[in-house]
Structure 1
Amino acid sequence: MAFGIKRWEIIDWKRKIDGGELAFLTHYWLDDRFPGCNTVTKVGCLDLEKLADWGKKHGLKKEWIHHRKDGYSHFDLIGERQKEILQKEGLIEHIWENKTERLEK
């Protein structure tokens, strides 16, 4: 279940993807399969080879891309790997240590 995301954030993420950029979107997310994880970062790109190459740089397999018919294919980053990759990419603003940190913005 996804929540804590604003419409303009989704629009901006899709605009970047449509423009061929790597786009990052972080939101709250709960799934019983991943206890202790409460956020996910979706990293998308229209150019799937560019996305796969980016993922390979971070130890992600091409097979892990969530392929979507609408053109917004992406990797899902969760847990410690999520935090590690976001730090390497310099995207500290996407790292939320607790629920209230993001909801107060």
Structure 2
Amino acid sequence: MAFGIRMVELKAWKKAVSESEIAFLTHYWLDERFPDCKTVTKAGCADIEKLVEWGKQYGLKREWIDMRNDYPHFDLFGKYERDILENEGMTDQLERFGLNK
């Protein structure tokens, strides 16, 4: 279940992804399969090869890309999420969701 995101943020992420930008969207997320994770960051890009190449620098694998809809993305959580957001300069997301601890 996703929550803690504004519609304007979702629309901006979808637009950026559709325009083949590497775009990030962080929101609160609860999933019983991952009880220690309270947030997820979607790192998306419509250009699959660009997304794959971007992900390689972080050890992300092509088969981890969520391709269920028009917005291909990696779901980042835990250490991956924190480290990638920090490396990508997304300090606002780290602070907003309490991931900078």
2:25 is aligned to 25
Where in structure 2 are the equivalents of 1:1-105 lying within 5 Å? 1-69=1-69, 71-95=70-94, 96-97=97-98
TM-score by length of 2: 0.91
Q: 1:46-68, CA deviations, whole angstroms, 9 ceiling, x for partnerless residues?
A: 10000011111111001000003
Distance in 2 separating the partners of 1:94 and 1:79: 14
Task: Report runs of 4+ in structure 1 exceeding 4 Å deviation.
Answer: none
In structure 2, list runs of 5 or more residues that go unmatched: none
Shift of 1:36: 1.8
Shift of 1:15: 0.8
**Identical aligned residues as a percent:** 54
- State the AA in 1 paired with 2:98: E
Report the aligned-residue RMSD. 1.1
Distance in 2 separating the partners of 1:18 and 1:63: 20
Distance in 2 separating the partners of 1:94 and 1:63: 26
Distance in 2 separating the partners of 1:30 and 1:83: 17
Specify the SS of the correspondent of 2:76: strand
**Number of aligned residue pairs:** 97
Distance in 2 separating the partners of 1:93 and 1:8: 16
In structure 1, list runs of 5 or more residues that go unmatched: 99-105
Shift of 1:88: 0.8
TM-score by length of 1: 0.88
